[in-house]
Each structure stands twice: as C-alpha cells, then as structure tokens.
Structure 1
Amino acid sequence: MVWVPLLLVACVVAGVGCARLCRATLAAVLPPRAEAPEGSAPELTVGEAAYLAGGPLRVTDLTLVSMHRERRLLLARTGWATVLDAGACAADPLERAVIGALGPQGQAPIPAVRPRVAAADSVHLLAERLVARGLAVSAAGRREVSAGLRAVRAGFLLSLALGTVSALLGPAAERAAVLAGFALPLLASGLCLLIGRTEVYPYTRWASPAGQRLLAGLSPADPLTALATRGPAVLEPELRAALRGGG
C-alpha cells in the first residue's frame, strides 16, 4: 500500500490547482465595478472595442489602419510605415504614440512599430479605463488565470507520473486499485484543464463578461469596427501583408 500516500499527494496537488483556477476565474469575470449613473448605458469606442477583442496589438493595428486610410500614414506592402502628415495626429494620443514609435526619421518597419505602440502609455490608460468600468480583465486577473492553468497542468502531470510509478512498481494484485485510485485526480485535473483552456482562458483574455456582451452588440458593417472585433483577417490583402511585415 505504498501507493496510497502518493495518491494523497496527487489528490492534494490536483485539488489545489483546480481550486486556484476556479478562484482566479471568478475574480477575473466578476471584477468590482463602480455603479453607472442612473439612465446611462455604457458605450464602446472603436479603440475600446479593439482592446476588448484583441488587446493592445489590436488597438495598434486599428490605429495604423485608421491613419493609413485618412492619409496620415502610409502602410507599404513591403512592411514599412511612413508618416505623411504628423501635424494632423497631435490631438489623438494613440496616433501620437504611433508617430513617436516611428522615430525622428518618420519611417520604420511595422513589426518594430507594433510592440512599441502596444506598450505606450495611451494604450495602458485605455486599458485602465475599461478595467475601471468593469469591461476588461485586469493584468493581475489575467496573470492569475494563467497561473491557475499552470497549477492544474502541474497537478495533471504529477498525478500521471505518480500513477505510472505506482502501477509499475507496486504488486500486480493491487494494479487495478492503483489505476482506479489515480483516475480521480487525473480526471478532475484533466477536465479542469480542458475547460480552462477552451472555455475560461479565451474569454478572460481581455474582455469581462460585461465587455463581451457589448462586443456582441456591435455591428461589423463599419470596416474599422470589423477590424476592431474580428482582426486583420477582414482587411484587403495589401494591408494584411503590410501588418505582417511584408511577409
């Protein structure tokens, strides 16, 4: 019966991992939010919709494409961005971030520009406003969900390893009991991991349930709204190639 303590260890580790993921998920999808004034309805700008649907890089892509279509920026199919009218961008903080990321030459490869803009203060402020309104998951919430998934994965692998060792090294007469015992932590952590990867993580990546409901109510008829909610796949081939860096 040497395998019994190993089974207890596997059950404890799997249970702790599942509990941590559940707690992180509840904290992410039910964030504290201030009450909105009576009679007011939350609305999303296109930039806010882009963040909720795809995070900072989606906001960056939206800003680049918007500037390109308004002739303030040229996105070349070769993967380079060039400033055409810097003065017209002074009023918008996201467009100012793009101009700053392009540097003093006013030209840079788009793959180098995208992460710089995504890390800009204007994008962080946009995210903070959405978190404060209860529409976005905070960075701490996303980290906790990811940590919970790692803990569940560790519990599953540990249960598998301990179960295999116990079945191979234990008496043959006890093998059926060993397999039945370790099936419990394996099943629990495996199901939790599957649900977490397919149902929890994709829907706590950026938008909270309240933010997801607002996203679902947006019409993709406007090209920029379609880009914000569905990503660069809706763009024409030239712009998709430009955002990929010409590849």
Structure 2
Amino acid sequence: MGPIAVFDSGVGGLSVLRELVAQMPSEHFLYFGDSANAPYGTRPTAEIRSLTLAHAERLFDRGAKALVVACNTATSAAIGALRARWPDRVIIGIEPALKLAVSRHPGGCIGVLATEATLREEKFAALLQRCAENCHILKCPCPELVEFVERGELTGPALERCLAARLAPVLAAGPDALVLGCTHFPFAAGAIRRVVGPDVELLDGSAGTARETKRRLLDAGLLVQQGEGSVTIENSLDSPAILALSRQLLHAPIFPGRESFDK
C-alpha cells in the first residue's frame, strides 16, 4: 500500500503532518513542499490551481494512496478541481478553524489571519455564511508571514513589527480568538502570542484535518494500524537548507501550553 502524500506550498504543511503522524503512527507519509513557488497566497487563483494539480498528479503517479492538501490557499483554489479529476481517490483539504472558534466563543469577536488568496476565495465566503452567525469576524491578510516561516525566521523584532501592523485592526476590536488560517502560521505562534497577549485564544485546523484523514482512510479500508511508520520529506527547492528547516519544523514545539481541546 502506498504512502499518504501531504502537499503544501512550502514548509507550512509540516504543522499538519505532525498531527497526521501523531494520530496515525503506523502510516507512511510522503511530504512535498513547493517552496520554489512559495508563497501561493499572492498568486492568481488559476496559477495556484495549476500548480496544485500538477503536484498532485506527480504524487499519485508515485503511488500515493491518498492526498492531504495541507495548505489553506491550495485547498481554497483547487480542492474542487482535484476531486473532479480523481473522484475515486481519498483527497482531504484544510480550512480555517472558524467553526471551532465560533463554537468556543459564541457571539464573540474572532480574527482570521490568513493569506490574501484564502480570504478572497468563494470557499471562505461559504465557510463564513455556514458557521459565523452572531459572531463578529475580522479578516486579516498577512502574506509576509509565510515568507518569514519559509526563511525559518520564527521570532524576532522584524516579525513582531510585521504582525503588530497587520493585526492592529483586529486587536483594536478586542478579539476573543484568532484563527491561524494558514498552515505556516502555527510555527510563528510564539511571536503571535507576544503580539496579541495572553487572553486571545489561538486556533488552527491541523488536528481536525488529521482526524478527517484517519476517518476517510478507515472507511476506505486503507488505514495502516500496525507496524512502524515513516516520513519522507521532499521540497521543490531540493536544497540542504530547506530540508534541514523542514526536519527542524517537524519536531519544533508549537502552541506551548495550549490545552488539547482539539486532539
């Protein structure tokens, strides 16, 4: 049985891969990050879709039994096209954890920190309409944050200045929660916490995506539940530096001190 392919525009999807490995330790994973073309969030929708479909085709050609699109931007732009091209495959996307935020803060103020592409797509508009009633939702694009994470710059004054500028309108509204709507962003959770303070809950969708992947594989009779799993990491840059950063991020602590409500 082939591996579970995990795809992202760069290194961000490693935050999802961590959850996948935690929930399915006997599985074999093939992670591919397209850092050569990152960030996706500032690209036109058609280009994001074309890149995502091309990488998915290559991963399926290599024997992947399932595909996890561990990128909010690529999911927003291409998940429908992926499922239309491979209707019999297990294909799972990710979306901002807005439903979780609304359930935990009914009637509250919720910021959504994401890429420009994720926030402009119809998929996000539908998510808003479906689950954000009675809440005040503030969209906050932050394309620069992807580039900070791609460089491995997860802390420091420059990052915090960028975050403070982007988050200023959200913080002025007194948010109850901040949804990290890009899989790169959890790796900067420490810097985000310093900017937003201790009382704003930080949420992401990686654990829910891992649960859905496990459920879909189990239903399809494709879940491996015994034996030792493995992780293979590849990147379109194919440089020692990006592969070393990927291995570092796979094991780096994120969301320190957060309760495990979404496990």
Q: Larger strand proportion, structure 1 or 2?
A: 2
Which structure: larger Rg? Answer: 1
